[in-house]
A and B are shown apart, each in its own frame.
Chain A
Amino acid sequence: SQTIHQWPATLVQPVGSPLSLECTVEGTSNPNLYWYRQAAGRGLQLLFYSVGIGQISSEVPQNLSASRPQDRQFILSSKKLLLSDSGFYLCAWDGQGAYNSPLHFGNGTRLTVT
């Protein structure tokens, strides 16, 4: 069965520090991968998605970047965090070429920038 791992679960970082969040998927090949951010009391904002290794689509211009160095690995990064980067970050996957398939989410990373 497929599983998705996301870490760390919580993170407190000072303003101006770098960030690296990692997400890996097991039990499937060539998934579509997604990074979402959820602000308190709000819906999910799509940040990045990838349909293959090295391919990244950015939905929102911001202080963040994403990379997909391996088929089932998706990394969210920042060189210098801002206070506004605080939030709940969720990684998700669905099947490649899956037209009507659901998203499978990790358990998220709670990021607090101080």
Chain B
Amino acid sequence: SQQGEEDPQALSIQEGENATMNCSYKTSINNLQWYRQNSGRGLVHLILIRSNEREKHSGRLRVTLDTSKKSSSLLITASRAADTASYFCATDALEGYSTLTFGKGTMLLVSP
């Protein structure tokens, strides 16, 4: 079953605007990761946030994690056309040996 669920399913913005994507999950986690997938390609890891962290930055990316609400958000600031892609959250469950569980993703379209 899928642990993470992204919201919205699709997002269309103009270059220069900020893009915010949300992820909700169901069970306690060790960490939460965000990945990007360009059309027809493999996924690329963007950022990992541990369960004891609340916020993390990487370049134009900002990720927050609220374990009490079991949710995370990915903010892309000053978006560019090259940011057009699908974005997935993935969770690593707390109990035992766990493989990553991916959500269905948010499709982001950034128009010039």
Contacts and interface: CB of A to CB of B under 8 A. Distances in A.
Interface stretch (A13-21, A42-50, A61-69, A79-87): A42-50
Interface residues of B, number: 23
Interface string A15-52: 00000000000000000001010000111101001000
A103 interface: yes
Contact of A100 (B2, B42, B48, B104): B48
Contacts of B88: 43-44
Interface in A92-110: 92, 99-100, 102-108, 110
Contact of A43 (B33, B41, B50, B102): B102
B41 A100 contact: no
Interface string B67-110: 00000000000000000000010101000000111111100000
Contacts of B2: 43
A43 B105 contact: yes
A100 B56 CA distance: 15
Shortest beta-carbon contacts, A-B, top 6:
A105-B42, A102-B45, A43-B104, A44-B102, A43-B102, A105-B43
Interface of A: 6, 34, 36, 41-44, 46, 49, 59, 88, 90, 92, 99-100, 102-108, 110
